[in-house]
Copies of this chain bind each other. A is one copy, B any other.
Amino acid sequence: MQKQQLLTKNQKIIFDIIEKSPEPLKAYTILFNVQKKGIKAPLQVYRALDKLVEIGKIHKIESRNAFIACHNSSCQVAKATAFSICEICEKVTEISSAGLSKYLANFKDKDGMKYSKYNLEFFGLCKKCR
- Give A residues with C-beta under 8 Å from B: 62-63, 84, 93, 95, 97, 100, 103-104, 107, 109-111, 113-124, 126-127
What residues on B are CB-neighbors of A117 within 8 Å?
122-124
In the A-B complex, the 10 residue pairs with the closest CB atoms: A115-B122, A62-B62, A115-B124, A117-B123, A120-B120, A118-B122, A62-B63, A116-B124, A119-B121, A95-B109
How many of these chains are in the complex? 2
- Is chain A's binding surface mostly helix, strand, loop or mixed? mixed
Additional A-B contacts beyond A62-B121, A95-B110, A119-B120 (17; CB < 8 A): A62-B63, A63-B119, A84-B109, A84-B115, A93-B109, A97-B109, A100-B107, A103-B103, A107-B122, A111-B127, A113-B127, A115-B123, A116-B124, A118-B120, A118-B121, A118-B122, A119-B121
Interchain residue pairs with CB less than 8 A apart (10):
A62-B63, A63-B119, A93-B109, A95-B109, A97-B107, A113-B124, A116-B123, A117-B122, A119-B123, A120-B120
